[in-house]
Amino acid sequence: MTNSREIAAQILTEIHSSYHFFENSITNNKDFSRLDSRDKAFVRFIILNTLRRNGQIQEIITTFIKKPLKKNNNFILNLIRISICQILFLNVREYSAVNTAVEISKKYNLDKFVNALLRNICRHKIEIMKKTRTEINIPKWIKNDILKSFGKKKLHEIAKSIVDEPATDIKIKRRYHKQENWEEILNGRFIHNQVIRLNNDGPIDKKPFFKEGFWWVQSLSATIPVNIISSMFKKSKKNNISVLEIGAAPGGKTFQLIEEGFQVTSLEISQRRTRRLKENLKRLNYKTNILNKDILNFKSNKLFDCILIDAPCTASGLIRKKPEILIMDKSVNLEKLVIKQRKILEKSVSLVKKGGYILYCVCSIHSKEGPKLIEGFLRKNNNFEFVLLDSEHAKLGEIFKGMLQLFPDNEKFKDGLDGFFIAALKKK
């Protein structure tokens, strides 16, 4: 049977060579599917942490390997990456990490090389740990933007926070919120309204009352846009208020809008993701009007009171949960996404009533997808103005020129938050 560390190195090789997302690479690996749940958790743990520390590990490899490995030795390179991660950053016994890596590399006739390299790193552990800096894990396309927009200290804080395991938040349906002792049942603690932060302990869909649809997975940051919409319409009868959500799957914000009692239309371009949205709605016993369409080709006779744009983005705010983003150069992709975000915003102008609102959000901390995009939009559309966010929402993050930015290193919450950007605009 293939060793779990060997499987971890195979999957990491696939992620590095094809820039595949972690979850896709892990589901495509047949050996992984045969592991028991403990080994699966171990493989996930070492790959995700190796990706989070990619910059630091790469720097150590460059220092300790004078002659670069041949291209066809990609598997060995990734075996070395996961071994360095275990030796330096995870609480794994050195001899176990080294011996297993040496054993695996025998098949490639590189056992002596791997043995010498890893033992050398073990000997220099203290010096390496004194010198290494987490800032190096953040790729240039994000790093330069953080430095320019928020400065060195912020970069340091973000870099420090993203090497930690991220938290999983879930949102309990309001009607069941007070009915059970949720903190005990789900092993977590309430961090804000109906949101519980779980102590990560096992598969989410096996947790109590998941199948019954009493709750869904949604990070605290991702709940804020709909909370803002609710407070904008707090004086209105919600079932008279029409909300169009653009980019609705897998559905967290749609579920909140339904729970609040709005008239909801959920629009989503992807067929696969629309199927997921429908499955989730069925589990939660919720109904909405679903349109599987590209918003840019969407025609409507009806205008909406509010448009919620949850735009496709680089997901730079989720680098802790999706650390494979750290090894991707998304600078080209970023420019394309910004064009798409701008087009979606401009399309929304024709779909919202006078006096109505556009709530724009992205799970990104890159200024081009957030403040710069909105400032550009407002320069061209002087019939729109900022809505002042009420203090309860504003205090969860940081307000820049009327827009809300949440960072992974959020001080108000132990274990931080997902990075998110939110702007609320009103059509005059």
Q: Which chain residues interact with ligand SAM by CB under 6 A?
A: 222, 246-253, 267-270, 273, 294-296, 310, 312
Taking CB positions, which residue lies at the least distance from ligand SAM? 247
Smallest distance, ligand SAM to C-beta of residue 357, A: 17
Q: How far is CA 79 from CA 19, 50, 51, 259, 271, in A?
A: 17, 10, 13, 47, 37
Runs of H (alpha helix) within 265-370: 271-284, 331-349
Nearer to ligand SAM, 110 or 374 (CB): 374
> How far is it, in rounded angstroms, from Cα 177 to Cα 195?
10
Rounded Cα–Cα distance for residues 356 and 231 (Å): 14
Closest distance between ligand SAM and the C-beta of residue 191, in Å? 18
Among the listed residues 217, 220, 256, the one whose alpha carbon sits nearest the alpha carbon of residue 413: 220
Closer residue to ligand SAM, CB minimum distance, 315 or 396: 315
Closer to ligand SAM by CB, 169 or 310: give it: 310
Judge whether 291 and 264 are in contact, CB under 8 Å.
Answer: no
| CB of residue 208 to ligand SAM, shortest distance in Å | 23
Number of H helices, E strands in the chain: 18, 13
- Tokens representing 209 are 């009352």
Which residue matches tokens 């969407």? Answer: 298
CB of 46 to ligand SAM, least distance (A): 28
C-beta closer to ligand SAM: residue 5 or 171? 171
Q: How far is the CB of 223 from ligand SAM (least distance, A)?
A: 9
**What span, in angstroms and rounded, lies between the C-alpha atoms of 167 and 414?**
9
Q: Which is nearer to ligand SAM, 263 or 292 (CB)?
A: 292
Closest distance between ligand SAM and the C-beta of residue 249, in Å?
4
* Distance, CA of 86 to chain centre: 24
Residue number with CB closer to ligand SAM (41 or 349): 349
